[in-house]
Amino acid sequence: MASRPSTARALMLQCRPRPRLSRPAINFIRMSPAARAASSLGSSPARPAGRQLGLLGYNLESRRQSSTTRAAQTALDPKFVYNVAASYISKGIPFDPSKHVFHFNLYNRVHPPKPGREKSARPESGQDAFFVSRVGSNPSEVALGVADGVGGWMDSGVDPADFSHAFCDYMATAAYECRPAEEGSAKPALSARQLMKKGYDAVCHDPAIKAGGSTAIVGLLNDKGMLEVANLGDSGYILLRLNGVHASSEPQTHAFNTPFQLSVVPPSMLLRAAAFGGARLMDQPRDAEVTRHNLRHGDVLIFASDGLWDNLFTQDVLRIVSSTMANTGAWTTTDAGVQVALDLSPYTRLDTVKVPSMDTSASEKNGASKVGTQQRPIATLQSLLAMEIVGAAKAASLNSKLDGPFAKEVKKYYPYEVWRGGKEDDICAVVVLVSEEVPPKAKL
């Protein structure tokens, strides 16, 4: 695999390099919010029983202290913050880290898709599409997803990118316009599978989308640190925690290189299929696999299209993330094992660091970029992770000597086929860096 200059030094300008990870991951022990509250407030000494009036006064004071304790404990409850960025690149285009990156701002307004929307407004992600949006008016809840247009539709004269990009636009709008659940309701206002269905239904009723199909992976992150994922097809996710793989998805396929997919099929195609045999794949959102995970401070969550998973093994992704997190100091190796920096906010702000710009004149042969001399602000830790992962996948996709995951799958199902190296494809990755922030104790 051709080497590519690492941009991991981006955040090293603000932090001293830390030792590389060398110990196995362990659970990071924290004091619970209740324990912190009790520790900070202390305990009141016992009082002797008194006359009725005195006892009543003690009861009232106890209630006030109990109310104060609950208020302080609530103030100290951890607040989950989701720091999100994305990187992407279409096949046939050199990867430019300074250009092919998206920084999520939860206060940005999401506008509904407009009829006749221009394709030039899309990111250079080809048939891959993605979205990130807050859920309703709650800034602590985030929806995100990746959709990969099914390239087989090109044989029928259909641009698969029309479906995938519109699908993501509609899901972003549905998440942004979501209203909170009714008070007292045990069910959340929105689930990952419901959001996928809302986007799919909107695409099916969009007169501009005559035909097409896409895989989909959709996630919801709530303010309690819960992740819910609905995955349909061969896009997927991986959840990394303290230098280890905590969870990952399995692809859903009908056959080799034939993933589950949502589709809009014209009536004429359905009639031909009925008359001459054969069938069009028309999976539904209800077929998506749903999983849930509790998140922790310092977790790294990656949603990506098959362009990433066909070119990088899970251990490749873990190595890139672990190296970047360690070099910046976000993950540190101590006598107790690998731990997360208590405060991740210096790493996640957009305006904290600068790195050398990248010269896009580098040869497309190796997918690398040359470091220039001009300085420009770029990165957060989450965007740096996204760029490193996509850059590595791009380089691997163009490497004809080192077999990637797709080449090994070909050999598994077709032993007599000759496929060497990577698989050139559109690549898209959305990265979430999870942090827990304890608000400062209010003055009583």
Can you tell me the distance from the alpha carbon of 43 to that of 323, in angstroms, rounded to the nearest whole number?
45
How far is residue 83's CA from residue 102's CA, in Å, rounded to a whole number? 12
DSSP structure string for 210-278: -SEEEEEEEEEE-TTSEEEEEEESS-EEEEE-SSSEEEE----EEETTEE--EEE--HHHHHHHHHHS-
Given a cut of 50, is residue 185 above it in pLDDT? yes
pLDDT for position 353: 47
For position 408, which CATH number holds?
Answer: 3.60.40.10
- What's the predicted TM-score (pTM) here? 0.77
H/E element holding 174?
helix 160-176
Residue 300: CB atoms within 10 Å? 26
Flag whether 3 is in a domain: no
Q: Does residue 416 lie within any of the structural domains?
A: yes
Judged against a pLDDT cut of 80, whether residue 3 lies above it is answered with no
Q: Is pLDDT at 325 greater than 90 in this prediction?
A: yes
- Tally of structural domains, the chain: 1
pLDDT per residue as tens digits for the range 259-303 = 999 999 988 787 776 666 555 678 999 999 999 999 999 999 999
Domain span at 102: 81-437
Asked if residue 442 belongs to a domain, the reply is no
Looking at the chain, the whole-number percentage of residues with pLDDT higher than 70 is: 72
- Asked whether the predicted pLDDT for residue 216 surpasses 70, the reply is yes
Which tokens in the block code for residue 170?
A: 């509609």
Distance of CA 198 to the CA centre of its chain: 20
Contacts of 217 (CB under 8 A, 6+ apart): 145, 146, 147, 229, 230, 231, 232, 233, 235, 236, 237, 249, 303
Q: Examine the pLDDT at 203 and tell me if it is beyond 90.
A: yes
Burial group, residue 51, by CB count within 10 angstroms (0-12, 13-18, 19+):
exposed
Q: Is residue 88 part of a domain?
A: yes
Task: Write out pLDDT tens, residues 424-439.
Answer: 999 999 999 999 986 6
Q: Is residue 154 part of a domain?
A: yes
